[in-house]
Amino acid sequence: MTQPKQTLSFQAEVQQILHLVTHSLYSNKEIFLRELISNASDACDKLRFEALHEAKLLEDAPDLKVQLLVDEAARTLTIRDNGIGMSGDEAVAHLGTIAKSGTREFMSRLEGDQKKDASLIGQFGVGFYSGFIVADRITVESRRAGLSPEEGVRWSSDGTGQFDVEPITRATRGTDVILHLREGEEDFLQPWKLRSIVSRYSDHISLPILMRKQVWDGDKGEQRDTDEWETVNKAAALWTRSKADITDAEYQEFYKQLTYDTEPPLAYTHNRVEGRSEYTQLLYIPAKAPFDLWNRDKRGGVKLYVKRVFIMDDAEALMPVYLRFVKGVIDSADLPLNVSRELLQESRDVKAIREGSTKRVLTMLEDLAENQKDRYAQFWEDFGAVLKEGIGEDNANRERLAKLLRFASTHADAGVSFADYAGRMKEGQEAIYYITADTLAAAKSSPQLEIFRKKGIEVLLLTDRVDEWMLSHLYEFDGKPLQSVAKGAVDLGALQDEGEKQQADQAAKAIKPVIERLKTALKDRAKDVRVTGRLVESPACLVVEEGDMSAHLARLLKQAGQQAPASQPILEVNAEHPLVKRLESDPRFDDLAHLLFDQAWLAEGGQLEDPAAHVRRVTRLLLEPVSG
């Protein structure tokens, strides 16, 4: 950038964010320093990574660091790094615009949060703008590594609608972010305050954070700066330290620094793995689901380091998609320092890390499920539906995952495991029964459950959208087949006595003529009509053949804009119900037949293809009552 000083306008989204950041985030002002130190650390990580391919970028300063400089007279606080730096074009691009993805979400979350949650800044990548919480002007001076001293840039703005940018001569690479503090923010010029903030938020940044060493000036009765620099953070990556030397509070603080989550994690695990592949893992399970949990294209939450050198964020190859909620760090001793995303997909060592980390996460979850049931219930409420994806995606761990599944049932509204169900199975019961539905209320009121309720047989109630897909990969548990109560003819085997079977056979013979007439009347809507023993109170219900797609899954596909295979359901009728018995002698047989089908369709959550025809039939029946 050789042109003289320019005045440019912020992108519209940045103006909105600046206004919100400046006027709304007042509850925790000190997070600005965390954000700017984090940005400085990232700049150093990027330089270190680029220098793997081009060592000359390190120039004559290979030791990377972050410095904090205070000028009380000028009322400025400077965050300096000797990282990758910026060119003039990059300064305009990075500081004057922001990627639109997530911007609207950030603003709506911030506007709607009464607590003005400062953690949102880190989540949405707008950390630089947090400097305006305490500063009425920010000046950035930078030079990108590899450019000449004459190719430096100065960027400056008061955080309103515009910013100035001009070329400068800068001898050193890297970036100075100079905050011109507002009136009333003098605390952030006090070295003790800055050290306290660094200790709280940035202690585990792997680069040294330096400040001028202070000594006591007896003549003036105050501390004064010296020319000597000292490190004010531990400057050691937490995961590289021995577990015995790390407190629970340190693990939790590192998690907050890593994720910008204000709540402590639900669980974590820290391990050094040795063998064919050597690596260290520090993995966390969050307490709450993020807003974008269901975005399967979102990168994972695990950072990859190689020999303590940062390589990449969101290394999705290190964790399966169904564990995308896991956050943490993996530091490998075996991968090449120039590893790329493409190499990650193909590496045998990465496969071993992925498998080992997956098993470690499942062990964490098993421990919660066994020993901390309340915490596991909390986990399941937020992440259970995502974990179910693993049943179809992770064949090697399918059995372990199946044991972690939890459901509602006719015996309990939540928290029922397959093992719980199996332990309550009736004598002679051979299958684990379930039903899928759009909601828990719809599942509970399904007529297909009536015979099971009468006999006290527990049925699992599955209401997550992912359940139908999961069931296409899970056929049994501990040798017991999974059986839908809405598929095939109900056969309770040893659970139904001979007297009941004989009574059902006699009833079926008695209304055989009605069944034949129903088949004719409903030939365009029902694949078959038959008498059933699964109904107690309802006159009819709909089922599908064993192996056919359920009506619930067909509805889900339609909602997703996909075409479901054409098929017709089977109408099952209760031969003992007064409405069914009345059909044979009623002159309005066809209308009643269609209404019987409509009732069964609506009872299982379906939508009528021709509601107007249904209304006409009901109207005719209301106007022409049968006498007597």
Q: Is the C-alpha dihedral spanning 199, 202, 204, 207 positive or negative?
A: negative
Task: Write down the pLDDT at residue 123.
Answer: 44
Helix/strand/coil percentages in the chain, nearest 5: 40, 20, 40
Can you tell me the distance from the alpha carbon of 449 to that of 486, in angstroms, rounded to the nearest whole number? 9
Question: What CATH code would you report for 399-494?
Answer: 3.40.50.11260
Q: Are 79 and 222 in contact (CB under 8 A)?
A: no
**Residue 581 structure tokens:** 């018995």
Q: Where does 372-495 have alpha helices with state H?
A: 373-387, 389-393, 398-404, 418-423, 440-444, 450-454, 467-471
CA atoms within 13 A on the CB side of 121: 31
Reported confidence tier of residue 342, pLDDT bands at 50, 70, 90: low
**pLDDT at residue 269 greater than cutoff 70:** yes
Query: Mean pLDDT throughout 277-297?
Result: 84
Q: Where in the chain is the domain with CATH 3.30.230.80?
A: 238-379
Reported confidence tier of residue 323, pLDDT bands at 50, 70, 90: very high
Can you tell me the distance from the alpha carbon of 385 to that of 368, in angstroms, rounded to the nearest whole number? 17
Higher pLDDT, 399 or 96: 399
**pLDDT at residue 338 greater than cutoff 70:** no
- The angle subtended at Cα 27 by Cα 22 and Cα 32, nearest 5°, is 55
Task: Report pLDDT digits (tens) over 26-52.
Answer: 457 887 898 899 889 889 988 988 898
**pLDDT at residue 417 greater than cutoff 90:** yes
CA atoms within 13 A on the CB side of 154: 13
Task: Write down the pLDDT at residue 247.
Answer: 93
Would you mind telling me the total number of residues written for the chain in this entry?
628
Task: Write down the pLDDT at residue 121.
Answer: 45
Question: What CATH code would you report for 496-623?
Answer: 1.20.120.790
Give, rounded to a whole angstrom, the gap between the first and last alpha carbons of the chain.
96
Task: Report pLDDT digits (tens) over 428-451.
Answer: 888 999 999 988 998 999 998 998
Reported confidence tier of residue 194, pLDDT bands at 50, 70, 90: very high
| Fold topology of 6-231 | Heat Shock Protein 90 (3.30.565)
Task: Write down the pLDDT at residue 71.
Answer: 94
Question: Mean pLDDT in the chain?
Answer: 85
Task: Write down the pLDDT at residue 125.
Answer: 47
| pTM score above 0.75 | no
Task: Write down the pLDDT at residue 347.
Answer: 79
Reported confidence tier of residue 296, pLDDT bands at 50, 70, 90: low
Task: Report pLDDT digits (tens) over 517-527.
Answer: 999 999 998 89
Can you tell me the distance from the alpha carbon of 364 to that of 375, in angstroms, rounded to the nearest whole number? 12
Task: Write down the pLDDT at residue 124.
Answer: 39
Question: What CATH code would you report for 238-379?
Answer: 3.30.230.80
Higher pLDDT, 187 or 205: 187
Task: Write down the pLDDT at residue 613.
Answer: 87
Task: Write down the pLDDT at residue 100.
Answer: 41
Can you tell me the distance from the alpha carbon of 392 to that of 606, in angstroms, rounded to the nearest whole number? 27
Task: Report pLDDT digits (tens) over 559-578.
Answer: 667 776 777 888 989 888 88
Task: Write down the pLDDT at residue 384.
Answer: 94
Query: Mean pLDDT throughout 227-256?
Result: 89
Task: Write down the pLDDT at residue 306.
Answer: 81
- Please report the DSSP string for 363-375 in residue order: HHHHHHHHH-HHH
Query: Mean pLDDT throughout 138-162?
Result: 93
Q: Where in the chain is the domain with CATH 3.30.565.10?
A: 6-231
Reported confidence tier of residue 470, pLDDT bands at 50, 70, 90: very high
Q: Where in the chain is the domain with CATH 1.20.120.790?
A: 496-623
Task: Write down the pLDDT at residue 140.
Answer: 96
Higher pLDDT, 193 or 161: 193
Higher pLDDT, 375 or 19: 375
